[in-house]
């Protein structure tokens, strides 16, 4: 079992009606025990994604990558208006527990994105036994997008980074910010592009193009050793008559994280 300290900021949201208030603006449905979701722009792009953990009946913890935290906190306070909700930073840390026997760990919650990712924990302190690179290699091996490594704020739509396949968007709930755009993309019969895990023995870096013959079918989003994440034009990939390459070497494009493709 491995434990990694994640570069997250923890917000504590509390007050009567906090679950109903948050449910009206984010992509996932309240309440937790543990949920994965996001706050979107009105145009439907991800401002920040996060994990939510219940803290009693009138409070919850929100763990988001620290690179998103200032903007997310500002926007949540803006959406609060006159609601009796308190939003404050908590002196806690976020951890990922993964690998052998992670499912047996008596702490935190199972990562709601993918059962093999392990568990997510909010705690004052835990003994970290694995590096961030170790965790990154683990999640890349599963082909799961992670905003710590793969994208920045207001750059991608939820479907681009598979949030709809990872339990991060509830299309059956009531309104949330950016819902119209997200729902319209869901109703599209064929997704034009998706983030997919890649494996390549050649050297590659963020921004490199993945080719099928002379045609670009994708672009690298993140890279670590032989694994990475890329935004793939699925229509071009599926219609290609040649195998994909990355910097002249064969590249394996992984299936979708939900196993559907």
pLDDT of residue 190: 66
Instruction: Report the CATH architecture of 2-131.
Output: 2-Layer Sandwich (3.30)
Contact predicate 40/183, CB 8 Å: no
pLDDT of residue 33: 85
Kindly state the percentage of the chain with pLDDT values over 70: 97
> What is the pLDDT of the chain when averaged over all its residues?
92
Contact predicate 216/210, CB 8 Å: yes
Q: Which tens digit of pLDDT belongs to each residue from 238-253?
A: 999 999 999 999 999 9
Structure-model confidence comparison of residues 178 and 197, the more confident one: 197
Instruction: Look up the pTM and report it.
Output: 0.93
CATH topology of domain 189-253: Elongation Factor Tu (Ef-tu); domain 3 (2.40.30)
Going by pLDDT thresholds of 50, 70 and 90, the confidence category of residue 189 is: low
Residue 117: Cβ-neighbour burial (10 angstroms; 0-12, 13-18, 19+): buried
Q: Which tens digit of pLDDT belongs to each residue from 190-235?
A: 678 999 999 999 999 999 999 999 999 999 999 999 999 999 999 9
Residues 138-159: what's their mean pLDDT? Answer: 96
Which stretches does DSSP call E strand in the chain? 2-6, 8-14, 34-40, 46-54, 59-65, 86-89, 93-98, 109-110, 119-123, 193-200, 209-212, 215-224, 227-233, 244-246, 249-253
Contact predicate 86/14, CB 8 Å: yes
Q: Where are the domains of the chain?
A: 2-131, 189-253
pLDDT of residue 174: 79
Q: Which tens digit of pLDDT belongs to each residue from 22-79?
A: 999 999 998 778 999 999 999 999 999 999 999 888 899 999 999 999 999 999 999 9
Write the CA distances from 86 to 33, 39, 110, 148, 159, integer angstroms.
20, 18, 27, 26, 31
């Amino acid at each position: 079992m491995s434990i990694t300290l994640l570069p997250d900021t923890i917000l504590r949201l509390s007050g009567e009606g906090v679950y109903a208030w948050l449910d009206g603006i984010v992509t996932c449905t309240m309440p937790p025990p543990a949920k994965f979701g996001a706050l979107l722009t009105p145009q439907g792009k991800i401002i920040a994604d996060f994990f939510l953990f219940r803290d009693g009946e009138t409070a919850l913890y929100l763990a988001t990558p620290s690179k998103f935290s200032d903007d997310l906190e500002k926007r949540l306070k803006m959406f609060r208006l006159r609601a009796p909700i308190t939003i404050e930073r908590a002196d806690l840390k976020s951890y990922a527990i993964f690998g052998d026997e992670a499912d047996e760990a008596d702490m935190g919650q199972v990562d709601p994105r993918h059962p093999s990712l392990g568990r997510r924990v909010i705690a004052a302190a835990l003994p970290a036994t694995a590096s961030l690179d170790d965790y990154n290699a683990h999640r890349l091996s599963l082909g799961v997008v992670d905003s710590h490594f793969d994208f920045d704020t207001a750059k991608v739509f939820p479907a681009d980074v598979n949030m709809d396949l990872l339990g991060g968007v509830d299309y059956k709930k009531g309104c949330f910010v950016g819902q119209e755009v997200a729902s319209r993309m869901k109703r599209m019969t064929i997704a034009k592009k998706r983030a997919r895990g890649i494996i390549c023995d050649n050297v590659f870096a963020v921004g490199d193009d993945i080719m099928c013959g002379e045609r670009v079918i994708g672009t690298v989003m993140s890279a670590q050793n032989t694994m990475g994440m890329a935004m793939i034009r699925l229509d071009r990939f599926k219609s290609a008559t040649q195998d994909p390459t990355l910097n002249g070497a064969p590249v394996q494009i992984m299936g979708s994280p939900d196993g559907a493709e």
